[in-house]
């Protein structure tokens, strides 16, 4: 019976400690701002204020506590930022316009699921979205000519190409030119697979890149 109250008390003490530490951080930030302003004012009063404020700052916080608090705050802010694209790792294979979106599409009276994107490109060249290894070059009825690149657990398929500029087993980097499109159509079919499931390629890059 004694264990439950002890647990609750320890949690409450920890919460109170965090609140106290947060207030100390805020108070110190305000003092630092005031010191910066005072340093721009040349007077005996401002110098006395600076000395007193700097002494108070050093007393109010331990460096390790301040460091941990700032790191936790920064980490929480980063976790909440809407990085829709993992973005720094991927680049657009072409620039242009999507004319068939990922997911459910309708063609006349029929509906079908598109496991990738269909893009009308502004250029003939196709760039690798990311670094990786070319694992397959081939041709089939659905994709026509295609190049497949394995990249950090993801399988990226570049379909409807005219010519491949890479070979199987070749290492590529993000932005490397790996294929060309037909001059007349400039149509790229792009698919991204991971763990046996298709992903929406549009979430990985900005088509304007």
Q: What are the domain boundaries of the chain?
A: 3-80, 88-203
- Report how far residue 130's alpha carbon sits from residue 199's, in angstroms, rounded to the nearest whole number: 15
Q: Which of 41-55, 102-116, 187-201 shows the lowest per-residue confidence on average (mean pLDDT)?
A: 41-55
pLDDT of 70 strictly over 60: no
What superfamily does domain 88-203 belong to in CATH?
Answer: Glucose Permease (Domain IIA) (2.70.70.10)
Buried b (16+ CB within 10 A) or exposed e, 192-201: bbeeeebbeb
The pLDDT-based confidence of 17 (bands split at 50, 70, 90) is very low
Mean pLDDT of the chain: 76
Higher per-residue confidence, 175 vs 31 = 175
Q: Can you tell me the mean pLDDT for 59-85?
A: 47
- Looking at the whole model, is its pTM more than 0.75? no
Q: What is the DSSP letter of 168?
A: T
pLDDT tens across 153-171, in order? 999 999 999 999 999 999 9
**Higher pLDDT, residue 48 or 77:** 48
């Amino acid at each position: 019976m004694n264990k439950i109250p002890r647990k609750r008390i320890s949690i409450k003490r920890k919460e109170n400690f965090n609140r106290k530490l947060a207030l100390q951080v805020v108070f110190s930030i305000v003092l630092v701002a005031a010191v910066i302003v005072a340093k721009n004012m040349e007077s005996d009063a401002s110098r006395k204020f600076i000395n007193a404020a700097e002494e108070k700052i050093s007393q109010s916080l331990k460096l390790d506590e301040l460091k941990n608090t700032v790191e936790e705050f920064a980490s929480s802010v980063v976790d909440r930022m809407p990085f829709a694209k993992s973005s720094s790792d991927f680049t657009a294979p072409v620039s242009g316009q999507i004319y068939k979106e990922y997911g459910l599409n309708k063609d006349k009276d029929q509906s079908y699921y598109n496991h990738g994107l269909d893009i009308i490109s502004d250029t003939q060249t196709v760039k690798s979205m990311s670094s990786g290894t070319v694992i397959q070059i081939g041709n089939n009825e659905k994709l026509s000519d295609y190049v497949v690149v394995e990249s950090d657990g993801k399988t990226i398929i570049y379909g409807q190409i005219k010519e491949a500029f890479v070979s199987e087993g070749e290492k590529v980097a993000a932005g490397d030119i790996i294929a060309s499109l037909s001059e007349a159509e400039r149509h790229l079919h792009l698919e991204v697979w991971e763990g046996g499931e298709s992903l929406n390629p549009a979430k990985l890059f900005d088509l304007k890149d």
